[in-house]
Amino acid sequence: MFRIRHIEIFYAVMRAGTVKGAADTLHITQPAASRLLQQAEQSIGVTLFQRVRGRLTPTVEAQRLFPDVEQLFGQLDAVRRSAANLGAGSETVLRLLCVPGLSMEVLPQALGRWNRTYPGVRLTFRTLHSRQIADAIVRREADLGFALEPSNHPAAVDLPIGRGRVVCVGRDLPEGPIPLQALGHHPLIDLDPADPIGRQLHMAYDAHGVTPAARITTASYHAAIEMAAQGLGWALVDSWSAWHARRHPGLQVQPLAPEVGTVAYALRSRDLPWSTAAGALVEEMGRALG
């Protein structure tokens, strides 16, 4: 049987070209390396090397075998690197998804603090809507997702990490909280009822008998704020996206009365627990959400 130790001596001789060089690589004596190479050849019944002018020349059979062995050692090196990264509290890559509303202001703050502890972790990052994030997590296409609604899927874990509220953004807003009834009498940039926060908002409309004066309906929170900055109406967004309004002098932000709450979630596959680095990012995201 061609054992692991036989594969090691074969690979070492192929790389070094001599038994002595292979012995040095494996930290064994030259006689031990010679015996091991002989055992390897006997185990498969094939001569792997011929001695030519003091060097071992691989036979045709050895040359056919070498690509598979080289690939095996490449994979072994990758395993060793991954193990070393795990031991250092990091990983090769963290696949991250986030809803657009949290990716512009909140996530960069969290990543800035997290990066001080995990500078060696690479990220792949995409923005998707909450339902798309849940689907990707269930399919194991991502390690971590930040969404504005739970997946409610048995194959996923939904962790609440922040609580906010719907706010009104606009120019010349009245002082204090905006009554829901007032939203029926002023041009609005309303949220799509298919959107997670839009759904909460429209449930509040129905509960209080409000027919919103929606001039524009969108699922893009930041676009809604930009439209409000141009005087197209009052924008209704979550309190985290409303941080973007600070970029526009003169834009005001007020809560609604009664309050319409929002929740941010961290999502993962139930079968893929978070790594140390991913767990730390979840904590930093919770801090950034306030």
Predicted local confidence at residue 88, as pLDDT:
53
How many beta carbons lie within 10 A of that of residue 175, not counting itself? 7
Assign 237 to helix, strand or coil: strand
* Amino acid letter, 31: P
By the 8 A CB rule, do 104 and 222 touch? yes
Residue 277, pLDDT above cutoff 60: yes
pLDDT at 95 over 70: yes
Give the confidence band of 275 by pLDDT, cuts at 50, 70, 90.
confident
| pLDDT above 60: residue 90 | no
Dist CA 130 CA 239 (whole Å): 17
Q: Encoding tokens for residue 219? A: 């699922």
Please compute the mean of the pLDDT values over residues 8-13 and round it to a whole number: 92
Give the chain's domains with CATH numbers.
4-87 (1.10.10.10), 93-161+264-289 (3.40.190.10), 163-262 (3.40.190.290)
Separation CA 251–CA 224 (nearest Å): 12
pTM surpassing 0.75?
A: no
Alpha carbons 138 and 145: distance in angstroms, whole number: 11
82 has a pLDDT exceeding 70 = no
DSSP β-ladder status, 144-147 and 93-98: parallel
The answer for 233, left when phi > 0, alpha when psi is -120 to 50, beta otherwise, is left
So what's the pLDDT on residue 160?
Answer: 97
- Rounded Cα–Cα distance for residues 210 and 218 (Å): 19
Return the amino acid letter for 252: Q
Report the pLDDT value the prediction gives residue 59, as an integer from 0 to 100: 93
Mean pLDDT of 249-270: 94
The mean-pLDDT minimum among 55-59, 141-145, 286-290 falls in 55-59
Residue 98's region, left for phi above 0, alpha for psi from -120 to 50, else beta, is: beta
Longest dimension (CA), the chain: 96
DSSP string of 90-136, one letter each residue: --SEEEEEE-HHHHTTHHHHHHHHHHHH-TT-EEEEEE--HHHHHHH
pLDDT 10s digits, 173-230: 999 999 999 999 999 999 999 999 999 999 999 999 999 999 999 999 999 999 999 9
Name which residue leads in pLDDT, 252 or 81. Answer: 252
CA–CA separation, 111 and 114 (whole Å): 5
What is the average pLDDT value for the chain, to the nearest integer? 91
